[in-house]
Structure 1
Amino acid sequence: MAKVLITGIAGGFGKPTALALMARGHEVAGSVRSRAGQNAETVAELEAAGAQIVEMDVTDTASTEAGVAEAIDALGGLQVLFNNAGIGSYGIQELMAPEDMARVFDVNVTGVQRVMRSALPHLRAQGRGTVLYTSSLIGRIATPFYGTYSASKWALEAIVECYRTELSGFGIESCIIEPGAMPTAFFDGLVTPSDPDREAGYGDFAQVPTMSAAGLAQMLDATPAQRPERIAEAVLALLDMPHGQKPFRTVVDHTGVGPEIERYNDVLHDVTRTVLTNFGIERMLDLNA
């Protein structure tokens, strides 16, 4: 059984994944920005189930370093890191202020980098580890009104491509999980633009994002298989696979989009291996199936 750290453990994917892991005998620690407020009930439930909870803000380097160290101490080690903390955004791209974009990237991209820099010395020293990342189907393609969020997940996918190769020689495997849209609290905390002057310039089109969001909600209501528990199942399935034999990308989707993203991923996999082979460094891909 593994010792697992989940960032954003109180979120829509973090909680069911933590509970599923502990039910299978894994030891779990998880981070929240604050134990109080809206997280209090979830934190209490997770602790009652056996999780170790640490307060950690992935947008703050000192907080992240302290939180990861506390989690490793609480677990007595670390084998699996699940970079799950994230924030969403939604709205017409021009209306998104640069400061709003920076906030999304600070959590979804730079936040992951802070966590990795805090955890990797431990994983490298032991010569083995598994790192999971929550990306998105729209970390592979871009859809209207999700430009900032998609950009952050595209950036995440890029740095994970590099981590995959650069860490393989240290026995650290990398796995990206790409969910489709899920009915979680993610939609309650979206960063949205607030620029009424520019919005007026879009006329009636300014109402389209709201209508589109309503349509997505209806689709999710009509797709009961599309639930956060599918992420927990994917994580369990990955951890059941032998070290070094896990797929680099795992699509989790029941809306019909998933197969197209898998086709895209297969092509990119072949292109990546061909390019690295041309440079004589294809062995850096061997730690994933």
Structure 2
Amino acid sequence: MNILITGANSGFGTLIIADLVKAGHRVAGSVRDPEGRNAEAAAALRNLGVEVVEIDVTDDASVEAGVAKADKTLGGIDVLINNAGVGAHGLQENFSAEDFRRLFDINVFGVQRMIRAVLPQMRSRGSGLILNVSSLLGRVVLPFYGPYNATKWAVEALSENYRVELSQFGVDVAVIEPGGFPTTFFGNLIYPSSADRDPGYGEMAAAPKAALEGFEGFLAANPQQTPQLVADAVVDVIGKAPGARPFRTEVDRVGMGDAIRPYNDQLDQVTRGLFANFGIADMLELNTSKPEAA
């Protein structure tokens, strides 16, 4: 299949791409500034046979141009993987509206920009897959990840709506929900632009830093929580037949995934019950028979 993935130059992206290429897929990977600060990463991707396209997911024009280039180079886009994202850590009250805006622009609006850019040709063809990399923190809240939690909860809702609005056009939607993994995620965190509210929190003001250090130590002591699990999950979902893919896939080996899986299963039952009551249960089933749009 022809696959476009964002955030190709680091974190889960490089592992996912290596697995996709190994599985025989044609891949275009988006990189910001591939001829400048990310030139080395772009060269490594090209050595794997990956088509490098420049995309800044926070910029409409960049997204449109990059998707158009990937579409032309690959000869169509069968799968979009929205992998680009950034984390945040700190006391939620310390994050300004601008801090939130910056995070949402990448993690949520960026996903929407990418999806809108690929959907017309997917709908007209009557097939395609949108695969959004969310997080288990898009299902449950942990302290000090507030703005990040909010963006991933938004991605989950975005995915839920696209799933049902696109099903009859043959376009599939799926979500990968990783737990915490030792990647570049922790080195690229967005912190509050100000700590002016710290005095009001007393001793708790030091809690975010201690919690982050503790979690990084926890990951170091649990080598089974390897990022390769996420790449394996992505390739597995893509490899399944349209209509047979799970909507949500939890990826975790340190306890969060096992706790959240029943929650996801229960939500699925609730959703199916409500859709049946409203007479729209067919919207939860992917139409694999024919295109619905010209």
Q: Alignment partner of 1:197: what SS?
A: coil
Task: Look up the equivalent residue of 1:20 and give its one-letter code.
Answer: D
Quick one: distance in 2 between partners of 1:224 and 1:122?
42
Quick one: distance in 1 between partners of 2:49 and 2:280?
43
Q: Which residue of 2 aligns with 1:207?
A: 206
In structure 1, stretches of 5+ residues that fail to align are none
Runs (4 or more) in structure 1 with deviation over 3 Å come to none
User: Are 1:224 and 2:232 matched, yes or no?
Assistant: no
Quick one: distance in 2 between partners of 1:83 and 1:269?
22
CA offsets 1:217-243 (integer angstroms, 9 cap, x no match): 111111112122111100111122111
Structure 1 residue 196: Cα displacement = 3.0
Q: Alignment partner of 1:202: what SS?
A: helix
User: Are 1:136 and 2:140 matched, yes or no?
Assistant: no
Quick one: distance in 1 between partners of 2:33 and 2:197?
35
Quick one: distance in 2 between partners of 1:267 and 1:151?
21
Quick one: distance in 2 between partners of 1:196 and 1:115?
34
Q: Which residue of 1 aligns with 2:16?
A: 17
User: Are 1:124 and 2:123 matched, yes or no?
Assistant: yes
User: Are 1:284 and 2:262 matched, yes or no?
Assistant: no
Q: Alignment partner of 1:169: what SS?
A: helix
After superposition, the CA RMSD in angstroms is 1.2
Quick one: distance in 2 between partners of 1:209 and 1:196?
12
Structure 1 residue 40: Cα displacement = 2.3
Q: Which residue of 1 aligns with 2:291?
A: none
Q: Write out aligned runs for 1:164-203 (5 A).
A: 164-203=163-202
TM-score, with structure 2 as normaliser = 0.95
Structure 1 residue 70: Cα displacement = 0.6
Structure 1 residue 283: Cα displacement = 0.7
Structure 1 residue 200: Cα displacement = 2.2
Task: Look up the equivalent residue of 1:243 and give its one-letter code.
Answer: P
CA contact (8 A) 2:8 2:30 kept: yes
Quick one: distance in 2 between partners of 1:196 and 1:169?
49
User: Are 1:4 and 2:31 matched, yes or no?
Assistant: no
Q: Which residue of 2 aligns with 1:266?
A: 265
TM-score, with structure 1 as normaliser = 0.97
Quick one: distance in 1 between partners of 2:199 and 2:54?
41
CA offsets 1:47-91 (integer angstroms, 9 cap, x no match): 101000111111111111111111111111111110111111111
Q: Alignment partner of 1:119: what SS?
A: helix
Q: Which residue of 2 aligns with 1:32?
A: 31
Task: Look up the equivalent residue of 1:96 and give its one-letter code.
Answer: F
Q: Which residue of 2 aligns with 1:74?
A: 73
Q: Which residue of 2 aligns with 1:43?
A: 42
In structure 2, stretches of 5+ residues that fail to align are 288-294
Task: Look up the equivalent residue of 2:89 and give its one-letter code.
Answer: Y
Q: Specify whether residues 38 and 227 from structure 1 end up closer, same or farther in structure 2 by C-alpha distance, changes over 3 A only.
A: farther
Quick one: distance in 1 between partners of 2:41 and 2:189?
20
CA contact (8 A) 2:177 2:249 kept: yes
Structure 1 residue 39: Cα displacement = 2.4
Identity of aligned residues (%): 50
